[in-house]
């Protein structure tokens, strides 16, 4: 960036290290008639002094004195004659600035020619300060010609260079980037401060030579670095990545890039380059590679089946578990379609399942039959996740499956259990050793007989012949039946009784958990005469367990909603409200924030009800007014019993029950999370209040994060002084509008505005007054623009406007309106202020550079023609 600006300056510029020239732009070589820049760089400043300096000319002694003055004062201006390569002299006004050694140069000299040698005249000419006096052959003065030198451009050039240097320094700091210059002739290397920081060296400890640099290179990398350097001497390009060993023993990895400059004979003179510390980047790459290998190993060795496939079911990845299930090598399975592996009757259902995925519902499950490697029919259960491109088309699926055959067999076995009749909390029965039921209480008869009759046999009797084969009904589920057969009855026969948990099946097939006691009754000879059982209903206890399981599921769903990175905050809030209506059994929900005396809805449930996001309610008529001042969840389960049952929220909105919690934004009250019903309900339990508290805490956290992100986004795109968009945002929008113009060609105006004589205004009234002028001007112009127009501060006293859907007449009229509006009313401190405006239209063939150059040329022309005017340049003129 700096080099490009330097080479394109129209003002001749020389960079010097004391007397030795270190750099020159093409304009300087042209002014001094040098054959090329390399010829200039072989000169000393004294070589530019004329051999026979006349009065007012720049002798070598005078130039040496000027260097001393610039070193003391920082910057001086003088006028003198400088020797040209063609033997002539050029009279120029020089601005000599001391640079404190930036990039190896100590001084910057800008030249502005103010007189030329007289040619084709018999008179001699002498140059004075800002004038040329012509004499006759007799020595008498004939006439005097003078020029006025505008040095404002020189100062602006210098400011632009310094600004670019500062921007470059900031960019290098962010990128961990330093720059260096290696002078081959002096065997001297100059580093920027960043390189000293990277290498862990001080300027005093740095030898500034090639040998000192190679000493800092890691011994194992020195040969490679030396080879890269030697290759650069012929190619002109230097690029190498290597390690360095710092004095503190730490090893860092750096990446170096450089460009070799050659003299006229083709010999390398010096190399300019950069050093970037890439240690953290390389460490991160290694860590990512190790993590990827770790997770791949986990997937390969996972006991569940894991696969990835395209929409046509072509498998692109299978783990070893999945390959082993089919008995086919993973490499063979990859590239095959899995749909033909299913039984024919299962394929259509599986294909339809894949067609149901959408970006809004990317996860689904599928259960189907398939034959394994041994040809056995098995059941598998799959959880599938679809991935979509930016157009909403499925790109691939990720799938995790398990063999659920045993579970399916268990389910089938439970469905095959014999009839259920009824249950009672206390079930009492007595059976003979042969299985004949001798006694069954009323509840038992109703449960086991269905119609109240007593069943004839009980298949759990230990001596019942063929009990497992007779097809007689079982009154227990499979696991209880098995437990009684294998554990309960043998224990009762051996110990006299057995106590444990069992179950019965009712007529509807519902499993009833029971606490059961089996007693074996024997006679005096020890012969078994009967079995009796007493069972007690455990359903209440089980319901409590189910409630705990349900709560666990709600908590897991809450975690899934809040932790889903693919969902937006709005989607999460909507899902959160829907979950809350289920948990609290209150069918309506709102999340709203307080704006003065209004309650503004941000999210609602149900989504398609009478309330919609963005609606405003009177705060005092809302139940939220009852929640805002609380320190936690508050609610009313029955409005008729509420202490404040006369509050308007009950009769205005017909609310009979509500539960709400305040929501915060940082430490300030944001609003409330509220659930309500038009019907009363039972009192809220502790879990419901704790769950709402948890939801409120998450909403508070997310809203605070959202506010912080919005603040950061505004700060990144806004000019802190004027409140307008900054140049970074304008660049992005300009690129976007250029792309739009390329595609549609609808016309977009581009204005570049500059405050006339702003530097003089700052000098006269001070920078604070200048800042206030910038602020007020931004407000004046902004008031005339459309909402669709983009207004930004370009930098300093320059502003830019992008005008969509515009033609030339509209752009010129707008620019003139803005100019007239600014100059029409004096500013409070600075008086009348005018602006110059460059205007153009974006062209479908434009890129950012061509558009900026064209509008900048238009602005420059407006300045050159006297300021306080608008100049339009069409795309064809800028071509």
pLDDT at 173: 59
Tell me how far apart the alpha carbons of residues 737 and 557 are, in angstroms, rounded to a whole number.
43
User: Could you please report the per-residue DSSP string of 435-475?
Assistant: SBEEEE-HHHHHHHHSSSPPPSB-TT-TT-TTTTTS----S
Vertex 292, ends 290 and 293: CA angle to 5°?
Answer: 65
Closest CA to 507 of 458, 436, 441, 452: 452
Tell me how far apart the alpha carbons of residues 535 and 524 are, in angstroms, rounded to a whole number.
27
Tell me how far apart the alpha carbons of residues 218 and 220 are, in angstroms, rounded to a whole number.
6
Mean pLDDT by 10 residues, the chain (879 residues): 63 84 87 86 84 55 83 84 84 83 67 60 38 49 48 58 60 70 89 90 84 92 94 93 93 94 90 92 86 75 89 93 89 92 92 94 92 88 94 93 88 50 61 77 68 49 38 68 87 90 79 88 90 85 86 93 90 93 94 88 86 86 83 89 76 86 86 92 94 93 83 79 91 90 88 95 92 94 92 94 94 95 93 95 92 95 95 78
Could you give the C-alpha distances from 221 to 182, 228, 240, 252, 278, in angstroms and in order?
20, 11, 10, 12, 16
Phi (first) and psi of residue 197, to 5 degrees: -65, -45
Contact 146, 134 (CB under 8 A): no
Q: How many CB atoms lie within 10 A of CB 211?
A: 9
Tell me how far apart the alpha carbons of residues 508 and 481 are, in angstroms, rounded to a whole number.
18
3-state SS of the chain: helix, strand, coil percent to 5? 40, 30, 30
pLDDT at 749: 95
Could you give the C-alpha distances from 207 to 101, 107, 215, 222, 223, in angstroms and in order?
18, 24, 10, 17, 20
Tokens of 742: 């390329």
Contact 314, 235 (CB under 8 A): no
Tell me how far apart the alpha carbons of residues 381 and 377 are, in angstroms, rounded to a whole number.
14
Could you give the C-alpha distances from 718 to 392, 727, 848, 855, in angstroms and in order?
34, 9, 21, 23
Tokens of 504: 């019965």
Q: How many CB atoms lie within 10 A of CB 554?
A: 16
> Sheet harboring 870-872: ordered strands across?
790-795, 798-804, 748-755, 835-841, 870-872
Tokens of 684: 């809220």
Cβ contacts of 694 within 8 Å, gap of 6 or more: 558
Q: Could you give the 3-state DSSP secondary structure of residue 313?
A: coil
Q: How many CB atoms lie within 10 A of CB 506?
A: 15
Could you give the C-alpha distances from 686 to 361, 630, 633, 700, in angstroms and in order?
33, 17, 10, 21
Closest CA to 703 of 663, 675, 673: 663
Tell me how far apart the alpha carbons of residues 841 and 857 are, in angstroms, rounded to a whole number.
13
Could you give the C-alpha distances from 197 to 203, 219, 491, in angstroms and in order?
10, 20, 81
pTM for the model stands at: 0.37
Contact 661, 692 (CB under 8 A): yes
Tell me how far apart the alpha carbons of residues 428 and 535 are, in angstroms, rounded to a whole number.
7
Q: How many CB atoms lie within 10 A of CB 101?
A: 11
Tell me how far apart the alpha carbons of residues 449 and 507 are, in angstroms, rounded to a whole number.
10
pLDDT at 467: 38
Closest CA to 472 of 451, 453, 490, 448: 448
Contact 836, 754 (CB under 8 A): yes
Give me Rg for the CA atoms of the chain: 44
Tell me how far apart the alpha carbons of residues 477 and 747 are, in angstroms, rounded to a whole number.
78
- Which residues partner with 242 through β-bridges? 254
Closest CA to 715 of 725, 706, 705: 725
Which runs of consecutive H residues, i.e. helices, occur in 364-463? 405-415, 442-449
Tell me how far apart the alpha carbons of residues 552 and 543 are, in angstroms, rounded to a whole number.
14
175-198 tens-digit pLDDT: 578 888 999 888 889 998 899 999
The 8-class DSSP code of residue 685 comes to -
Tokens of 867: 């300021």
Vertex 437, ends 433 and 442: CA angle to 5°?
Answer: 145
Peptide bond into 606 cis (omega under 30): yes
Residue with the two structure tokens 């390389």: 282
User: Could you please report the per-residue DSSP string of 103-140?
Assistant: GG--EEEEEEEEE----S-SSEEEEETTEEEEE-TTS-
Tell me how far apart the alpha carbons of residues 612 and 591 are, in angstroms, rounded to a whole number.
11
Tell me how far apart the alpha carbons of residues 763 and 655 are, in angstroms, rounded to a whole number.
68
Phi (first) and psi of residue 106, to 5 degrees: -100, -25
Contact 762, 773 (CB under 8 A): no
Tell me how far apart the alpha carbons of residues 437 and 456 are, in angstroms, rounded to a whole number.
6
């Amino acid at each position: 960036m700096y080099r490009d600006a330097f080479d394109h300056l129209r003002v001749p510029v020389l960079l010097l290290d004391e007397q030795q020239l270190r750099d020159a732009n093409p304009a300087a070589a042209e002014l001094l008639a040098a054959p090329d820049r390399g010829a200039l760089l072989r000169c000393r400043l004294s070589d530019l002094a004329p051999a026979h300096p006349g009065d007012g000319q720049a002798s070598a002694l005078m130039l040496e004195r000027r260097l001393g003055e610039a070193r003391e004062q920082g910057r001086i201006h003088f006028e003198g004659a400088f020797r040209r390569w063609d033997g002539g002299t050029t009279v120029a006004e020089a601005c000599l600035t001391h640079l404190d050694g930036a990039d190896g140069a100590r001084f910057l000299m800008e030249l502005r020619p103010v007189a030329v040698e007289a040619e084709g005249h018999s008179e001699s000419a002498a140059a004075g300060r800002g004038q040329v006096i012509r004499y006759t052959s007799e020595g008498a003065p004939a006439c005097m010609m003078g020029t006025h030198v505008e040095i404002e451009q020189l100062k602006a050039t210098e400011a632009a260079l310094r600004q670019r240097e500062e921007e470059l320094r900031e960019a290098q700091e962010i990128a961990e980037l330093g720059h260096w210059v290696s002078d081959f002739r002096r065997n001297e290397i100059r580093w920027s401060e960043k390189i000293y920081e990277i290498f862990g060296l001080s300027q005093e400890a740095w030898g500034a030579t090639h040998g000192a640099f190679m000493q800092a290179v890691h011994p194992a990398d020195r040969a490679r670095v030396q080879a890269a350097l030697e290759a650069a001497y012929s190619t002109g390009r230097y690029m190498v990545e290597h390690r360095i060993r710092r004095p503190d023993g730490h090893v860092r990895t750096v990446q170096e890039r450089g460009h070799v400059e050659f003299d006229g004979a083709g010999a390398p003179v010096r190399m300019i380059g950069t050093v970037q510390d890439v240690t953290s980047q390389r460490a991160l790459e290694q860590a990512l590679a190790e993590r990827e290998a770790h997770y791949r190993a986990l997937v390969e060795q996972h006991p569940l089946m894991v696969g990835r496939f395209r929409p046509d079911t072509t498998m692109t990845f299978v783990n070893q578990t999945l390959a082993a299930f089919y008995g086919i090598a993973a490499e063979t399975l990859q590239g095959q379609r899995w749909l033909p592996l299913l039984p024919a009757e299962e394929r259509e259902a599986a294909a339809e399942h894949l067609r149901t995925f959408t970006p809004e519902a990317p996860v689904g499950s599928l259960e189907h039959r398939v034959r394994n490697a041994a040809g056995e029919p098995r059941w598998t259960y799959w959880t599938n996740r679809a991935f979509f491109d930016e157009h909403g088309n499925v790109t691939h699926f990720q799938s995790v499956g398990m063999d659920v055959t045993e579970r399916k067999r268990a389910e089938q076995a439970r469905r095959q259990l014999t009839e259920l009749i009824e249950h009672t909390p206390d079930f009492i029965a007595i059976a003979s050793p042969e299985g004949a039921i001798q006694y069954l209480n009323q509840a038992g008869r109703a449960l086991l007989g269905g119609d109240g009759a007593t069943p004839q046999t009980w298949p759990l009797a230990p001596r019942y012949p063929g009990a497992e084969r007779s097809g007689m009904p079982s009154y227990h589920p499979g696991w209880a039946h098995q437990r009684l057969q294998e554990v309960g009855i043998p224990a009762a026969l051996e110990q006299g009784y057995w106590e444990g948990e069992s179950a019965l099946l009712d007529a509807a097939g519902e499993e009833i958990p029971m606490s059961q006691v089996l007693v074996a009754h024997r006679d005096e000879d020890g012969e078994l005469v009967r079995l009796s059982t007493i069972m007690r209903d455990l359903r209440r206890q089980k319901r409590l367990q189910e409630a705990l399981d349900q709560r666990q599921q709600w908590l897991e769903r809450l975690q899934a909603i809040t932790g889903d990175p693919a969902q937006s905050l709005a989607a999460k809030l909507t899902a959160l409200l829907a979950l809350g209506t289920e948990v609290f059994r209150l069918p309506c929900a709102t999340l709203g924030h307080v704006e003065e005396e209004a309650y503004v809805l941000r999210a609602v449930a149900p989504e398609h009800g009478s309330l919609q996001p963005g609606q405003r309610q009177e705060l005092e008529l809302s139940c939220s007014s009852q929640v805002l001042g609380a320190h936690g969840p508050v609610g009313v389960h029955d409005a008729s019993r509420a202490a404040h049952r006369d509050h308007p929220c009950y009769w205005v909105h017909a609310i009979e029950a509500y539960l709400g919690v305040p929501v915060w934004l940082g430490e300030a009250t944001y609003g409330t999370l509220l659930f309500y019903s038009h019907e009363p309900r039972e009192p809220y339990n502790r879990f419901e209040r704790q769950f709402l508290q948890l939801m409120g805490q998450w909403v508070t956290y997310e809203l605070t994060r959202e506010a912080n992100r919005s603040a950061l986004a505004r700060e990144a795109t806004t000019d802190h002084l004027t409140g307008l968009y900054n140049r970074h945002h304008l660049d992005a929008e300009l690129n976007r509008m250029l792309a739009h113009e390329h595609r549609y060609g609808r016309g977009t105006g581009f204005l570049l505005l500059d405050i006339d004589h702003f530097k003089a205004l700052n000098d006269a009234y001070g920078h604070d007054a200048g800042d206030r002028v910038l602020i007020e001007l931004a407000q004046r112009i902004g008031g005339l623009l459309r909402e669709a127009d983009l207004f930004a501060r370009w930098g300093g006293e320059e502003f830019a406007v992008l005008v969509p859907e515009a033609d030339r007449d509209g752009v010129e009229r707008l620019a003139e309106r803005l100019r007239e509006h600014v100059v029409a009313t004096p500013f409070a401190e600075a008086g009348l202020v005018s602006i110059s405006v460059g205007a153009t239209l974006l062209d479908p063939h434009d890129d950012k550079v061509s558009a900026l150059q064209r509008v900048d040329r238009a602005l420059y022309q407006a300045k050159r023609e006297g300021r306080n005017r608008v100049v339009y340049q069409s795309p064809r003129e800028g071509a």
